[in-house]
Structure 1
């Protein structure tokens, strides 16, 4: 947008308006943290992923002119390294009201090196500001908003707005994270030495200490005084309380699974979701959850945990004040540049994170916030060893010791249910003129579904539609002699069709699934046959990431890719549109997923008011990129007979742009598609 679209637009209008980009709050490199205590070893040895992430960041930091996180490509396990040096903590209020925030004190900001400050100055001077959905929410909900006064807003990709807000509002309370925060503050090691930020700042914290920071990653008992030993004891008590609480979470979830997941927390569609008996089945926290026997233990454990966490938060603020007072007492010329200040900044950031975790637990277990949905679920398991890439296997091996030390326990999740109230308070507030633009906002040529989701009224928000037609580019083929997705022989019929069609087309296909299990089943069935015929078969999560698979797809002719999950949404890396896209089944939302179930509670007819519209829009969004991102002639196979056998099938089909269409037997499909690809014009 900034590098191509806006320059071309300004050239055509003969304008030279200044343009600026504003990233999310955690989207910049914080120089204060980079040269401060964030990179000091405070919680044990770095994992291989963290070390690799920091190495990447070290090379990038020497070259970047903007400090924007988007310039870096990091694997999921490496992102924890970014959290050590990212922005977003600079404006946390100091425990010492006279010291101001880290942003106020930062010497790098005053000398012009701060990437956050530079970006803010560019935004203030710009006439056009570009940001992300999350970046807009970060700014407009903050105290120091730069965008709230802009009275004209163009929201691109508005069809993704609800998902982005849900992701932005999501929070997690998990054992590893909380214990990691506590250990970063300070912990006593088995050999009797101390580690963490408290140990790092021991020379400045103990009575009559020399000041400054420790030159070693750990300190001995002789280097801490009685007050500091009491702090470490408080941290140990908090860690034990947190561990006990998560043990109670495990007992609660286990009782829920043993008594049948269909009896609790699935809204009106209790028990309708697939695979209710799975160990990773979520437990949505509702009033009914209180009837489980383990709930009393959970409440008792949480009360103790909340008290222990608050004690830690209080002691962190006390230590922060002491360090800032120490810095002032030394009469430094550059306030905000001292070693004590860097530790104080990290302590303020951790205190804020612990406070957020405490609030999440409090709201979830008291069910105090009706705008949110909360649930427990076991963390996802890594893929089987045989299905991992070499890099993934190395990652799992490097963290195996840590995982063995801690038994798997549930994670507590929270997410906003309805986005309309938040939009009215933030993006849609005031008199700003707002345009919501997207390629998949209407269901069956009607905007009422998205209007309702966004909380917009017809008389204040007109809707305009640009008619798109692909009847001369795309053939929709609907097989009429296949089993419905939940019927026996469906998977076998699908695999046989894929073999026949991929052989006829010599690859050049993308196949989208709604579950990893279905993808793996097809992969195992079709790969030996097709690769014996010289056609490469690539599976997401088996042979690489979506980006890697699309790179291979674009560089080789005889290849098919199998994808699921984010393959439906994040396929912007496509350089070459597939000749044929196969949709194995409609992407219906899973109604036993707690956020979906909570939203479904607001509808009297969940199938027609929620499930079908969501599936229709997601299908349209995926095909916009897979089939219609360029003008190449192509075919789409909708291998879900419900489009023909169910009355809602017409709604889904009318949500798609006009295409040439054929219904017929699976056996006729390869010949029909080949005829289409070699013909011209439309088939009406």
Structure 2
């Protein structure tokens, strides 16, 4: 059995390598538009009817066959080990558990590969990703609607479930989150914040900021970041929706700010999120540039953050596989799904500024769509009441300085 197992493992490595090479080739030939950091391909019905997909299926069949043989081999090993239980060997029980776990893992891998490659489920979304062009690929899946899974595995198993967060509502109600979570008859309670937002937050909306898609936007963004950082004495965080925009901004502001004594810290360039936060707290004369995880779950205590810059409204990338697939469930995908999702992320980002009753600072939105597009009011109406100021970038920088100093 041992020699047979070693031979099977060798064959498994060979066939798995072939499968992954075949998938990588398919991804390279058919991938969706993606950034430099990641290549993405939605695997749909149309993907699976491509001639090259048959090569993927053949490679999968070889992997599945050898995994089934490995499973049978391990089952025989388990039977042999269980026959030795009367010898009271200390290591025996642990070894049996380990072999049983390997059998379970092999079965799980077989089922997931089968679902992804040959028998996709109608209620699942499938996609492949590759980090950079030379990185390893990953096979991913997610449910179209998480409500059914939550109902089956959580809500129906409990007498009561409490869902609480400061950012579950949009426009003063829970309609969007209830629909996404499959909650049809939940009791709801929306309470006011304990913070005095009109005194704590100055919401600044420039009326002379170029549109995010215009050629002049990036230059205006960089100048705004420099002016805001200087007005706030550092203590500034900028939230971005892409790594490319973050890195371009870092390159554009770093020299000017460091020349006058400010430190520029960028996620993915100058350290891990944890290291960046530690440096920011130790040296408040800094501007911190973040994306993704910095929109939520980041706590900067003690009033160390004074200016929070939202560079763009955080809409999902339309071609992102899960977002694109779930959008198809709505009659009006943009207003029924894209806007509410973005509003929730926007509120999460807004919440990075005020973390205690004594905190005071400014939130600056550098996306003129919040004023020029009809959906902009949905974002504004979803925020707590703040002191709002609209004006030119120059005027707002001066007002930010006065607000933080407590003279406004």
TM > 0.5: yes
Q: Following TM superposition, by how much is the alpha carbon of 1:510 offset from its aligned partner in structure 2, in angstroms?
A: 0.9
Counterpart in 2 of 1:296? 54
Counterpart in 2 of 1:464? 189
Structure 2: unaligned runs, 5 residues or longer: none
Deviations 1:494-523 (A, max 9, x none): 001111221232211111111111111111
Q: Following TM superposition, by how much is the alpha carbon of 1:666 offset from its aligned partner in structure 2, in angstroms?
A: 1.0
- Paired with 2:358 and 2:105, the residues of 1 have a C-alpha distance of 49
Q: Following TM superposition, by how much is the alpha carbon of 1:425 offset from its aligned partner in structure 2, in angstroms?
A: 1.4
Counterpart in 2 of 1:626? 353
Within-5 A mapping of 1:67-146: none
Instruction: Find the partner of 2:107 among 355, 366, 370.
Output: 355
Q: Following TM superposition, by how much is the alpha carbon of 1:679 offset from its aligned partner in structure 2, in angstroms?
A: 3.7
- How high is the TM-score relative to the length of structure 2? 0.93
Q: Following TM superposition, by how much is the alpha carbon of 1:599 offset from its aligned partner in structure 2, in angstroms?
A: 1.5
Tell me the SS of whatever aligns to 1:483. Answer: coil
Counterpart in 1 of 2:93? 341
Tell me the SS of whatever aligns to 2:168. Answer: coil
Within-5 A mapping of 1:83-482: 227-257=1-31, 261=32, 275-276=33-34, 280-326=38-84, 328-330=85-87, 332=88, 338-379=90-131, 408-429=135-156, 432-457=159-184, 460-468=185-193, 470-482=197-209
Q: Following TM superposition, by how much is the alpha carbon of 1:278 offset from its aligned partner in structure 2, in angstroms?
A: 5.5
Considering Cα pairs closer than 8 Å and 6+ residues apart, tell me whether 1 or 2 has the greater RCO: 2
Tell me the SS of whatever aligns to 1:625. Answer: coil
**RMSD of the alignment, in Å?**
2.1
In 2 relative to 1, CA 594–673 (structure 1 residues): closer, same or farther, beyond 3 Å?
same
Assess if the C-alpha contact under 8 Å between 2:200 and 2:354 holds in 1: no
Assess if the C-alpha contact under 8 Å between 1:484 and 1:642 holds in 2: yes
Counterpart in 2 of 1:650? 377
Counterpart in 2 of 1:83? none
Tell me the SS of whatever aligns to 1:425. Answer: helix
Deviations 1:462-493 (A, max 9, x none): 32211235111101000111111121121111
In 2 relative to 1, CA 679–279 (structure 1 residues): closer, same or farther, beyond 3 Å?
closer
Counterpart in 2 of 1:67? none
Deviations 1:305-357 (A, max 9, x none): 1111111122122212222322x142x1xxxx622333332222222222211
Counterpart in 1 of 2:252? 525
How many residue pairs are counted as aligned between the two chains? 406
Assess if the C-alpha contact under 8 Å between 1:280 and 1:380 holds in 2: yes
Assess if the C-alpha contact under 8 Å between 1:374 and 1:414 holds in 2: yes
Q: Following TM superposition, by how much is the alpha carbon of 1:228 offset from its aligned partner in structure 2, in angstroms?
A: 2.5
Tell me the SS of whatever aligns to 2:265. Answer: strand
Q: Following TM superposition, by how much is the alpha carbon of 1:637 offset from its aligned partner in structure 2, in angstroms?
A: 0.3
Counterpart in 1 of 2:293? 566
Assess if the C-alpha contact under 8 Å between 1:547 and 1:573 holds in 2: no
- Paired with 1:646 and 1:558, the residues of 2 have a C-alpha distance of 35
Structure 1: unaligned runs, 5 residues or longer: 1-226, 262-274, 382-406
Tell me the SS of whatever aligns to 1:631. Answer: coil
